[in-house]
Structure 1
Amino acid sequence: MPDIPFFNYPAIYKRYEAEFDAIFKDVCSRGAYILQRDLEEFETDLARFLNVRHALGVADGTNAMVIGLKAHDIGPGDEVIIASHTYIATAAAVHMVGATPVFADIGEDYMMSAADATKRVTPKTRAIMPTQLNGRCCNMDEIQALADAHGLL
């Protein structure tokens, strides 16, 4: 099996070390861990950047996925196609809203295979939720084409 290159976090930290350390010192010195001005600024800046009315910052990816699924009324009786190579939180989020996770196989790039995901679509399928891992993205053009062809989120 070939080596999978991971994101070089130490190099990014070193590049921005002074800025990151200043942020850590500021946040820690204020004890500003939950629901502080930092979150409000982040949400405002993100909404402006995305050119949307609202952005919601959450504590973790599981909550983000649950909120997204609920926002689209995905729940009991629905199926959501996810990659077989993912963190447990992806399937857990689908389960937490009462829907059924359906696993699509991965391709040679270790990302969701759109060809295999196509085989997993049923009348109960409401969404495709691919996982982007280790700084790599799946072929979103193929995934979006599949979603469009079947009227899926």
Structure 2
Amino acid sequence: MKTRPSPDRRQARVVVLQLLFQDDLNPRNNPAKGEEMIRNSLRQPDLVRFAEDLLAGVRRNRRELDERLQTVAENWALDRMAAVDRNVLRLGAYELLHTDTPPSVVIDEAVELAKSFGTENSGAFVNGILDCLLRREKAASTGSAGHRGERDASS
């Protein structure tokens, strides 16, 4: 059974994407303004919390996210990508790597954001990169599962 994305959560992602886009184009942007925009745009406390968590997570992990994305974005430098695509990828990568949102939902939502706010080719581009990131993460976790368990047991 396929998990259906929440339309409310989609709106939260739209707000977060807008804020990430602002951050990207204006690094001196006041982070508190983003939190204010979230509260004003999303009235439900659970959606506000969801959006704040996504925004804070992407901001906090941006360097790591960019590095991970760069490793799978063959022949594409992140700084040469369209700003919308780059920020949809950051948001999607954060959700894939740091939340319990089902990967199929994360990728579907990222593709929809890219189609809505990017170019004609953005949806396929974002899909390809996030799918590659997901496959690499699965391969890495499968390949190191035994070693990780041994380390955890000795901690």
> Which band: TM-score by shorter chain?
under 0.3
User: Normalising to structure 2: TM-score of the pair?
Assistant: 0.25
Higher fraction of helix: 2
